[in-house]
Amino acid sequence: MDPTKVLVTVGVPVYNGERFLRQCLDSLLSQTYRDFVLVISDNASTDRTREICETYANADSRVRYHRNAVNVGLYGNFNLLLGLIRTPYVKLASADDFWAPTMLADAMEQMERDPAVVLCHPRTVLVDADGREIRRYENSLALMEDDPAVRFRRVLTELGLVNQLMGVMRTDVVRSMLPLMGEPPADSVFVAELSLYGKIMELPKFQYFRRFHEECSSWDRKSESHQARLVSGGGARPARLATWKYHWGLIRRLIHSPLGVGAKMQLLGFLARRAAWDRSELLRECRQLLWRDDRSTA
């Protein structure tokens, strides 16, 4: 590998990923596009993850292994990993999943061709724990409009599973954005923020195989204890005021974005209307917080 030709870093955040990690790494290292580095950020795993990673790092010069001294949480590990990137492009890769061999080549071709595209992602096949196809995910999200306000509205009204996060992104754009939030739905807020900076292209091929199993972060979205355990990496209490944090996260990122004052004001009105639609949940969270506080002082 010629270091001067390396344009992209593939970043793999992992915590206790021994079950699926080898298939993930094999699919990435088998890409037809060869000039990349693969950085693994191990979130203080307690299983055989470290042993597996060191084996791959010793066998392939493209692989770099980083281990956190303590578990910094799911999204904390994403932020740490993004801070390690030194190439113009970055592709995140969940340690549970795998990719078709031409995915990276196809995405890089589009990213190099059109500087207005800040994220390029393939279509998704949902698979089970054994890698068998469940179904092809047909919810498409291609945001190629010139107007960032249109792209932002579309993300918030059309986004389903956040498969786009595993596409190829421009590192300079990611660096100019705010860090990922510390709890769900950090991924959807991140994609919404990204849409304010440029276009999001969807490749027509089904090249991303997203695995659903009992330990993945998407397995039980409605279970607060499941989400808290995976996001924090421990037995932390479920996050409070999640809906408030979601709306406030969007507002912060809109204000931080490069849009003009007029466009920001229009989108702030749009976000205010969406918050009004969520008023029942916002009020429920306030009552829940007050009830817990009263209980703790009783």
| Number of structural domains the chain divides into | 2
Is residue 122 located within the same domain as residue 264? no
Choose the final residue of a domain: 187, 211, 235: 211
Is residue 38 located within the same domain as residue 13? yes
What per-residue confidence (pLDDT) applies to 11?
A: 98
On the question of pLDDT at 214 being above 90, the answer is no
The domain in which residue 39 lies consists of 3-211
Is residue 188 located within the same domain as residue 260? no
Is residue 216 in some structural domain? no
Choose the final residue of a domain: 211, 237, 265: 211
Share of the chain above pLDDT 70, in %: 88
Is residue 219 in some structural domain? no
Is residue 256 located within the same domain as residue 206? no
Choose the final residue of a domain: 211, 234, 249: 211
Is residue 207 located within the same domain as residue 269? no
What per-residue confidence (pLDDT) applies to 213?
A: 82
Question: pLDDT digits over 26-43, tens only?
Answer: 999 999 999 999 999 999
Question: pLDDT digits over 230-269, tens only?
Answer: 565 555 555 688 999 999 999 999 999 999 999 999 999 9
CATH number of residue 188's parent domain: 3.90.550.10
Question: pLDDT digits over 74-119, tens only?
Answer: 999 999 999 999 999 999 999 999 999 999 999 999 999 999 999 9
What per-residue confidence (pLDDT) applies to 217?
A: 57
Q: CA-to-CA distance for 224 and 146, rounded, in angstroms?
A: 38
What per-residue confidence (pLDDT) applies to 220?
A: 47
Question: pLDDT digits over 52-86, tens only?
Answer: 999 999 999 999 999 999 999 999 999 999 999 99
**Structure confidence at residue 4 as a pLDDT band (50, 70, 90):** low
Is residue 253 located within the same domain as residue 161? no
Question: pLDDT digits over 136-177, tens only?
Answer: 999 999 999 999 999 999 999 999 999 999 999 999 999 999
Is residue 151 located within the same domain as residue 283? no
Is residue 39 located within the same domain as residue 136? yes
Is residue 180 located within the same domain as residue 82? yes
Is residue 178 in some structural domain? yes
Is residue 206 located within the same domain as residue 89? yes
Is residue 249 located within the same domain as residue 203? no
What is the value of pTM for the model shown?
0.89
On the question of pLDDT at 291 being above 60, the answer is yes
Is residue 217 in some structural domain? no
**Structure confidence at residue 9 as a pLDDT band (50, 70, 90):** very high
Is residue 25 in some structural domain? yes
Is residue 112 in some structural domain? yes
Is residue 130 located within the same domain as residue 260? no
On the question of pLDDT at 16 being above 80, the answer is yes
Is residue 205 in some structural domain? yes
**Structure confidence at residue 226 as a pLDDT band (50, 70, 90):** very low
Is residue 162 in some structural domain? yes
SS (H, E, C) the chain: CCHHHCCEEEEEEECCCCCCHHHHHHHHHCCCCCCEEEEEEECCCCCCHHHHHHHHHHHCCCEEEEECCCCCCHHHHHHHHHHCCCCCEEEECCCCCEECCCHHHHHHHHHHHCCCEEEEEEEEEEECCCCCEEEEECCCCCECCCCHHHHHHHHHHHCCCCHHHHCEEEHHHHHHCCCCCCCCCHHHHHHHHHHCCCEEEEEEEEEEEEECCCCCCCCCCCCHHHHHHHHHCCCCCCCCCHHHHHHHHHHHHHHHCCCCHHHHHHHHHHHHHHHHHCHHHHHHHHHHHHHHHHHHHC
